[in-house]
Structure formats: C-alpha cells, structure tokens
C-alpha cells in the first residue's frame, strides 16, 4: 500500500509539472497534456481537496511510513504548493486582458462604453460557482429557445438555440456563437460551449444564438462554413422576431469555432462559401475567436505537431496539403485578411497544446498590418485549450474583458448610428 501511495504522489507531481511544462511535440501526448492541464488547471481546488482527503485516508491506515512513505508525502506537498502557485497565477489574466484592450482600443476605451447599454462592470464567479462550475452553466435569468431549425441539408435538420434575458428586449445586439470540436461528429456541439459568455450577455440584454453545422467525417469542407453562413443569413432575416438587431452581430467561437468564426468574418459575401445564396449579406460587426486555427497549410511552420495535418487530410478536407495546397489556403482565415475586416479580439492561452500560440501571434500581426479596424490580442498566461468552457478565476477575468470589448464595439456602433438603445 505504501507503493500505491507513492504512485499517487508521483501522479500528482506529473499533474503539477504538466501545468507549467505541457507536452507540445507529439499529437497523442499533446492531447493527454491538454485534458490533464485543462481539468487540473481550471479545477485546482477540486483536485487539492480530493488529494488531501485521499492522503489523510492513507495516513489513517498507517500506510505513510518509512522512507517511501515520507518521500511520497514530500512529493505531494511540493505538488500541492505548485498547484496553488498556478492557481494564483490565474489572476494575471485580469491585467493581461486589460493591457491588450488598452493597446488595441486606446487608453480611454472604457469611457467610450455608453451608460445606456446596461454594462454591469466586472463580475467574477462566486465561490458557489467555482465550487460547482458545471452546475453554474445554467442561469435562472436567461430564457433558452432550443433547436430552432434554420436549414435542412443532406437529410439533416440544422438547428440553433437562442438565449435572451427574461425581460422583453427589442433591437438588442446579437452574439453569434459557433461551437468547436475539431469540426467532427461527437467532438463538440452547440449545447456545451460558449455558455458563460452567452449567459452573461443575455443577462445584459443581448440576444445570443448558438448554431449547429454539418460535421465531419460525413461533411467535407467547405460544408462547415457554408452552414455557418446560412445560419447567419437566417439570423439576419429572423432575429428581430426574437428581439435582436440584425444590423449588429458579433461572432465568436472556440477552437474549430474560432477558425470558423474568423473565416466567416473575413469572407463576407464570398461566393465560394455561399453557393445558391451569393447575393445574401454575410457581413458581421466584429469577431472574438478563442484559440482558433488560422493557417491550415502551416506555411510558416509554426504548428507544434502533425496532429492537425492528419485530421484535415483524413476527415475535414479529405485531401493532403501537398496534393491540394490551394484548398488549404482557401480554408485558412489568414489568407482572407483584408483592409475592411471587422474589429477582432483574439484570445489565446500560452499553454495551449492543441493550437500553436506562435501561429496565433502571426495571424494577429498579419491582421494588424492590413486591417483598418481595431485588433486586440489577449494572450493568457497558464491557459490551456478550452479554459473558458466553465467558470473559473482565469476564465472569469477573460470573460470580463470580452464583455468590455463587446460593449465598446456596440457603443461605437450606436454612436455611429446616432441612436440610443431601446
């Protein structure tokens, strides 16, 4: 049993080490590192309480004795200290996000947020929400209209959900959420992603739309982006029926959703991605991609490993980049950057093992060089992939920053329209 205790201690030590030094090089290792870093990093206190309880049981059973028992206990104490230090690092996100907003929008950007748009100021998750993060994904102040069909294609009913506050709204700003999950069936859906952001904005009077789209391996690019654009067209035509303003739409999404939200925002009215509805307006007012993928071809050699290349060739594009580089370029947001691009706020964690931080930086630099609109880049210390899926200290600070960006953008729109919010 002492050996079992030592194994527990070494496993805890690896969890902690992985928070600071995740695995980037190999696809399988990167995935393991992601899952561990995500669940441990954003749920540090849950792991600490569990490990301390198990350790006390070992101590009560007389297992922690002798050299190996003492060594295991020492390893655990060092590991716990490392987890606590990592947890405290989450508060760096507050300054990192604010600094990025000041750099991208100007030092007085907060003063530009109008008083009549119900901005609530910064709000962090409560202790109860932090203790039960998955239970906190439901808001009693938000009404959800589920599974509204916006398109029928290939025998599928493509659906969307609408979240809005329970008080009636008219002409409200719209958030358009695109889920991630490697563009692949059973890897992600509209039901579990972007919920903290949608709830927060819905409580502030926004109308939030979460969409579905065809997924691989059955779907082949550009099916995914075509469906996103069809959903956007539906929103522009129908969202007023639900209290939303079709003339102000902010698009967001994480991972594959970050890719698709960026691609949608940069390819407005692009006929290649709008077959049969080429004349529909697919412009948006802004984009907030979280840990997206921006260069499928990886022409700069900035991706960490070959995992993405394999998925794209086998399941998403169904052609290798050597055989069809133009298809890879067409699918890459970085190749659609142009002067009239809408404002962007790009979110990326510096410990993300699935998406290259270097690629994200390159995308942002390219966007800043060409676009005439504001570009905000928030690189978050210690953040793994999907760090924002449920409430945590780190995701709370980032959420506050995204809300400020959204309300600044909406204020700018309202000022240009010369109107006040209803």
Q: 255 catalytic, yes or no?
A: yes
Question: Are 346 and 357 within one domain?
Answer: yes
pLDDT digits (tens, 9 = 90+) for 28-84: 999 999 999 999 999 999 999 999 999 999 998 888 888 888 999 999 999 999 999
What confidence score (pLDDT) does residue 64 get? 82
Give the model's confidence band at 282: pLDDT under 50 very low, under 70 low, under 90 confident, else very high.
very high
Q: Which of 139, 255, 356, 371 is catalytic?
A: 255
Give the model's confidence band at 419: pLDDT under 50 very low, under 70 low, under 90 confident, else very high.
low
**Mean pLDDT (whole number) for 274-296:** 97
Contacts (Cβ under 8 Å, ≥6 apart) of 358? 300, 302
Contacts (Cβ under 8 Å, ≥6 apart) of 148? 159, 160, 161, 162
**Among 249, 257, 203, CA closest to 386:** 257
The partner residues of 289 in beta bridges, in order of sequence, read: 253
Question: Are 49 and 135 within one domain?
Answer: no
Percent of the chain with pLDDT over 90: 87
**348 has a pLDDT exceeding 50:** yes
**Mean pLDDT (whole number) for 109-120:** 82
What confidence score (pLDDT) does residue 420 get? 52
Question: Are 28 and 173 within one domain?
Answer: no
Strand order through the sheet with 375-380: 142-153, 156-165, 207-211, 172-178, 244-254, 286-290, 344-349, 375-380
Cα 341 from Cα 355, distance rounded (Å): 23
Q: 350 catalytic, yes or no?
A: no
Cα 295 from Cα 274, distance rounded (Å): 21
Question: Are 76 and 97 within one domain?
Answer: no
Domain count across the chain:
2
Give the model's confidence band at 1: pLDDT under 50 very low, under 70 low, under 90 confident, else very high.
confident
Question: Are 159 and 50 within one domain?
Answer: no
Q: How many CB atoms lie within 10 A of CB 217?
A: 13
Question: Are 18 and 139 within one domain?
Answer: no
**Is position 17 within any domain?**
yes
Question: Are 311 and 388 within one domain?
Answer: yes
Out of 68, 89, 110, a domain closes at: 89
Q: 352 catalytic, yes or no?
A: yes
Question: Does residue 183 contact residue 226 with C-beta atoms inside 8 Å?
Answer: no
Which parts of 224-367 are beta strand (E)?
244-254, 286-290, 344-349
pLDDT digits (tens, 9 = 90+) for 211-254: 999 999 999 999 999 999 999 999 999 999 999 999 999 999 99
What confidence score (pLDDT) does residue 270 get? 96
Question: Are 139 and 276 within one domain?
Answer: yes
Q: Which of 87, 179, 385, 397 is catalytic?
A: 385
**Mean pLDDT (whole number) for 86-108:** 97
pLDDT digits (tens, 9 = 90+) for 124-176: 898 999 999 988 888 999 999 999 999 999 889 999 999 999 988 899 999 99
pLDDT digits (tens, 9 = 90+) for 292-333: 999 999 988 999 998 999 999 999 999 999 999 999 999 999
What confidence score (pLDDT) does residue 68 get? 87
Q: Which of 352, 378, 395, 412 is catalytic?
A: 352
What confidence score (pLDDT) does residue 421 get? 47
Phi, then psi, of 20 in degrees rounded to 5 = -90, -30
Out of 89, 111, 140, a domain closes at: 89
Question: Are 85 and 96 within one domain?
Answer: no
Question: Are 130 and 217 within one domain?
Answer: yes
What integer best gives the mean pLDDT of the chain? 94
**Among 224, 196, 361, CA closest to 292:** 361
CA angle 411, 413, 416 (to 5 degrees): 110
Question: Are 70 and 118 within one domain?
Answer: no
CA angle 284, 235, 241 (to 5 degrees): 130
Task: Give the domain extent around 158.
Answer: 92-417
**Is position 422 within any domain?**
no
What confidence score (pLDDT) does residue 201 get? 96
Cα 345 from Cα 3, distance rounded (Å): 49
Question: Are 23 and 170 within one domain?
Answer: no
Phi, then psi, of 221 in degrees rounded to 5 = -55, 135
Residue 408, domain CATH: 3.40.50.1820
**422 has a pLDDT exceeding 50:** no
């Amino acid at each position: 049993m002492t050996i079992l205790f030592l194994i527990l201690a070494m496993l805890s030590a690896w969890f902690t080490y992985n928070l600071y030094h995740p695995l980037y090089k190999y696809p399988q290792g990167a995935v393991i590192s992601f899952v561990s870093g995500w669940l441990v990093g954003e749920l540090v206190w849950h792991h600490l309480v569990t490990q301390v309880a198990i350790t006390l049981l070992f101590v009560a059973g007389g297992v922690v004795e002798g050299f190996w028992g003492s060594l295991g206990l020492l390893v655990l104490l060092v590991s716990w200290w490392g987890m606590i230090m990592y947890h405290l690092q989450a508060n760096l996100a507050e300054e990192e996000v604010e600094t990025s907003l000041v750099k991208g929008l100007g030092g007085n950007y907060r003063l530009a947020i109008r008083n009549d748009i119900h901005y609530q100021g910064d709000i962090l998750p409560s202790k109860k929400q932090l203790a039960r993060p998955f239970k906190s994904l439901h808001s009693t102040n938000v009404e959800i209209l589920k599974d509204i069909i916006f398109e029928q294609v290939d025998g599928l009913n493509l659906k969307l959900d609408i979240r809005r506050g329970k008080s009636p709204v008219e002409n409200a700003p719209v958030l358009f959420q695109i889920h991630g999950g490697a563009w692949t069936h059973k890897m992600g859906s509209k039901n579990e992603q972007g919920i903290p952001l949608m709830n927060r904005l819905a409580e502030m009077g926004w109308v939030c739309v979460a969409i579905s789209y065809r997924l691989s391996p059955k779907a082949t690019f550009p099916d995914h982006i075509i469906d996103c654009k069809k959903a956007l067209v539906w929103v522009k035509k129908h969202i007023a029926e639900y209290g939303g303003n079709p003339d102000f739409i902010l698009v967001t999404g994480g991972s594959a959703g970050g890719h698709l939200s960026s691609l949608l925002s940069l390819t407005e009215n692009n006929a290649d991605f709008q077959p049969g509805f080429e004349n529909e307006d697919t412009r948006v007012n802004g984009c907030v991609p979280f840990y997206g993928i921006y260069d499928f071809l990886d022409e700069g050699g900035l991706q960490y490993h070959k995992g993405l290349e394999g998925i794209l060739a086998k399941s998403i594009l169904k052609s290798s980049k050597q055989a069809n580089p133009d298809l890879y370029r067409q699918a890459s947001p970085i190749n659609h950057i142009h002067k009239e691009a809408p404002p962007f706020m790009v979110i990326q964690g510096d410990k993300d093992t699935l998406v290259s931080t270097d690629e994200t930086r390159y995308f942002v630099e390219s966007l800043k060089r060409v676009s005439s609109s504001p570009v905000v880049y928030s690189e978050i210390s210690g953040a793994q992939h999907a760090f924002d899926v449920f409430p945590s200290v780190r995701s709370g600070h980032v959420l506050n920053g995204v809300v400020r960006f959204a309300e600044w953008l909406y204020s700018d729109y309202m000022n240009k329209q010369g109107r006040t919010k209803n």
